[in-house]
A and B are shown apart, each in its own frame.
Chain A
Amino acid sequence: MKHRTFFWFFLPTALAMLLFIFLPIVSVVTQSLFVDHQQVFREVENCDIFGCKNEMMIDNEATEALREAQPLGRFAGLSTYFNRSHLATTEVGQAWSGSQGWGEFLGLLINLPFYKALIFTLTFTFTVTPLLIVLGFVIAIAVNALNQKLKGVVIFFSLLPMIVTPLVGSLILFWMIDSRGIIGNTLQYLFANPDLSLKASTGLTWVMLIVYGVWHAAPFAFVVFYAGLQTLPQDTLESAMIDGATRWQRIRYVVIPHIMPLVTFVALIQLMDNFRVFEPIVGFNAEAHATSLSWIIYNDLGGETRLLSSAATTSVLTIIGVAILLSPVLVRTWRDWNRKV
């Protein structure tokens, strides 16, 4: 392609990326480097329907000039990144020097909001992603072996978890696992324990969220793998059969190598998606037991007093996290591409 043609061809995409990806990131990074101005208080008498009392209020006139001069707030550099709500360098240092062993150190680390969220986020990402790839692959193989007439219906039902809005899907599951719901009640009956509650234990809540994550994302892997299976070279398969390969050997030595690039693709997308896990935590009311980086951002923005800088900082840290997570896959793709060229 000529450079000129390429330029005009790529221009709309570049503009859209600039507008919708680059500028927001610049804005978020900028926001994370600033904090609000020092507030000036004054004590005033407040009267409401219940009576009067003296309370502190912000003196808006006094801060007006400051706000006009520096609308972004005070420059804080990277201090928000290192405070207790984020990387908590001081607290981690104290935990490191003050703890006797790894167990105690991890216990102290989990107590800090950012690391608590990070640990759940990583656990979720690294259990859900492989499980959904395996499950998606199994479904794809199974559906592919089905009778042509049945396929349509089965494919539709296999896709349902992905079609249902995440929040609605998690709410449905949340009600089912309630101690008065169908799954929760059955479990109580099976384990003969009327006090068994999936929502009250941290471990079981994590399991529940991970099961939901796999349930929700497996159809995506299934669709991609199923499409890949349609391009399977039939001659190779047939020659493998003539050579006496069992069904398992055919899958292991013909099918899997053929769809390997798709596995990389699914892994890439799902690592990214799962690292941003959010809806199930809200849907399951699970914040007492599990928080994620995205949930922290939501929580900072959702309070009556919004913490914009804190939310921006967590956003930047999430972007960095995704970049680190994807780097091995990206490096591999880059090498493969170079080799081909």
Chain B
Amino acid sequence: MLKKLMLAAAMTVAFTAANTTFTSTSALADGHAKCGIENGRVNIIGNEFPAIQTIGTGAKACAAGDVKISANLTKEHKNIQVPGLSGNPAEYTVAIVANSSIVPLMNDDLIRPLDDLIAKHGGNFGKNQQITIGGKVMAIGFMANAQHFVYRKDMLEKAGMEAPKTYEDVLAVAKVMKDKGIAQYPFGGAYSAGWGLAQEFNNMYLGHGGKFFKDGSAMPSINGPEGIATLGMMKKLTAYMNPDFLTMNNNEINAEWKAGNLPMMQMWGSRAGPLLTGEGSAPGVAESTVLSGPLSVAGKGIPATTLWWDGFTIAKNISDADAEASYLAMVNAIDPKIMNDDVATQAVWMIDGYKPTPASAGVFATMKANATPYPMLPYQALLHSALGAELADFLSGKESAEKTLADAEAAYITAAKEKGFIK
């Protein structure tokens, strides 16, 4: 009880500070029901990037009369979504999630199955967009994303090398580039300690054919030959990266790319696409930027990356009217009619009528290569955090790969025991 009270108090403060309401007044004025919503409250929590902004705007277009629609799109969404959906009634009626961030909502039983709403109201989306968990539709996906390889055509030609297909190729090209003085640091990746570094481990580990957990249990299984090979490859790559790599995240890597300093990098499709516009880039960079597909490693032929989807979920602890209003507003937001040339460049949409643009080449290549989707396991995030905190010790040369992996497993097991995932 006390815990809930404290949480409620903290959340009230957080909401007053962070929540921005964009109820459109012009829509209020005309007073007609829109999108088939008679009444209800819609409040959206989600990440903040152009594609999600488009979705938020689409949902808000349904505001009319008493139907108030607001959205809080913020980079801090992960910290807000669980407390924001925990209340009864929940502060937020819609959470825009990805395959990792749906897990904490599932773990705490905070989102409702959408089957009845789909049966009643339908919607302009395909069967494959329905994210089904244990036979129930829990989310509707609208876009895909993946980290993939990006390279500079001109710098590669200068080095006289073929475009890399594997991480071993990357090492060979990087060596030539460094020796010839084409680039001081030829490779870039978001190796900043924490989430980003752990994600690069995940990518490389899957590429080595590794399994994160022992079959059917929450016990970790990363401290094996695949894990050691993964760390070995990461260490080799860091030799060709800016020495500050443990502090560099996607923003810094992108800035280096725009400055024309980087010939090769691993980057999110949603962030690499905008580089093609050349906005803020040095002359000649955008023209020769190629969004390639995923790399493989160690001759396994498995894409060393993960696939991601973004979709919407509806809160459990809200009235049926609010749930219906939320569903209808979101269905309107992802309707094929939103598609135009500008929106098409924002993401790899799963929406009908979307025609792939050059900005989506990398993600499509990753999907075609059958990369593994990021696992929706209840305990995956804990392993991710543990890796994020421990891997830096190995990459900065403080300890061996075995010791680092053992530490990460021990840190994970401690956390998993606290959460009741392991006895």
Question: Could you tell me which A residues sit within 8 Å of B by CB distance?
Answer: 23-24, 26-27, 30-31, 35-39, 41-52, 55-58, 60, 64, 71-74, 80, 83-85, 111, 113, 178-179, 194-195, 197, 199-200, 202, 284-289, 299, 301-310
Is B104 a contact partner of A305 (Cβ separation < 8 A)? yes
Does B382 contact A48, Cβ atoms closer than 8 Å?
Answer: no
Assign chain B's interface to a size class. 35 or more
CB–CB B193/A288 < 8 A: yes
Q: Which chain B positions have C-beta within 8 A of A52?
A: 132
Cα A35 to Cα B184 in complex, Å, equals: 50
Q: A26-B2, A303-B382, A305-B103 are in contact. Are A50 and B419 (CB under 8 A)?
A: no
Choice from A31, A57, A74, A199 contacting B420 with Cβ under 8 Å: A74
Please name all residues of chain A whose beta carbon is closer than 8 Å to the beta carbon of B130 when the two chains form the complex: 47
Most buried by A among B4, B78, B421: B421
The stretch of B269-277, B339-347, B384-392 that contacts the partner chain: B384-392
Query: Which of the segments B115-123, B243-251, B323-331 contacts the partner chain?
Result: B243-251
Known contacts A49-B309, A287-B194, A299-B389: A197-B373 contact under CB 8 Å:
no
Q: Are A179 and B2 in contact (CB under 8 A)?
A: no
A-chain residues with CB within 8 Å of residue B419 when the two chains form the complex: 35-36, 39, 305, 307
A55 touches B6 (CB 8 A): no
Structural contact, A55 and B4, CB atoms closer than 8 A:
no
* Contacts A44-B134, A304-B104 given; does A71 touch B78 at CB 8 Å: no
In whole angstroms, how far apart are the Cα atoms of A332 and B367 in the complex? 68
Cβ distance B372 to chain A, nearest Cβ, rounded Å: 9
Interface residues of B in 369-385 (CB under 8 A from A): 373, 375-379, 381-382, 384-385
CB-CB nearest 3 A-B residue pairs = A44-B134, A288-B392, A288-B193
- Nearest opposing residue in chain A for B132, CB measure: A47
**A49-B350, A71-B1 known; A39-B421 Cβ under 8 A:** yes
* Cβ contact within 8 Å between B242 and A57: no
Q: Are B194 and A111 in contact (CB under 8 A)?
A: no
When C-beta atoms are compared, the residue in chain A nearest to B249 turns out to be A285
The secondary-structure label for the interface of chain B is mixed
Q: Which of B6, B129, B381 contacts A304 (CB 8 A)?
A: B381
Please tell me if B18 contacts chain A, counting CB pairs below 8 Å: no
Q: What are the interface flags for B395-423 relative to A under an 8 Å C-beta threshold, 1 for contact and 0 otherwise? A: 11011000100010011001101111101
**Contact call B384/A178, Cβ cutoff below 8 A:** no
Q: Is B16's beta carbon under 8 Å from chain A? A: no
Q: Is the CB of A200 within 8 A of B378?
A: no
Query: What A residues does B218 contact at CB under 8 A?
Result: 41, 56
Is B298 located at the chain interface by the 8 A CB criterion? no
- Contact of A179 with B242 in the complex, beta carbons under 8 Å: yes
Q: Provide the residues of chain A in CB contact with B396, threshold 8 Å.
A: 200, 202, 288-289
Give per-residue flags for B356-378: 1 if the beta carbon is below 8 A from chain A beta carbons, else 0. 00000000000100000101111
Do A49 and B414 have beta carbons less than 8 Å apart?
Answer: no
B67: A residues at CB distance < 8 A: none
Beyond A23-B2, A72-B3, A305-B104, 11 additional pairs, beta carbon < 8 A = A31-B3, A46-B132, A48-B376, A71-B3, A83-B417, A195-B243, A200-B244, A285-B249, A287-B194, A289-B392, A303-B382
- B278-310 contact mask (Cβ, 8 Å, vs A): 1 or 0: 000000000000000000000000000001010
- Most chain B CB atoms below 10 A, which of A23, A37, A39, A197: A39
CB-nearest residue of chain A to B245: A200
Shortest distance between the CB of A255 and any CB in chain B (Å)? 43
A302 to B79, Cβ gap below 8 A? yes
Output the least CB separation between B308 and chain A (Å): 9
Given contacts A39-B420, A49-B141, A83-B414, contact A200 B3 (CB under 8 A): no
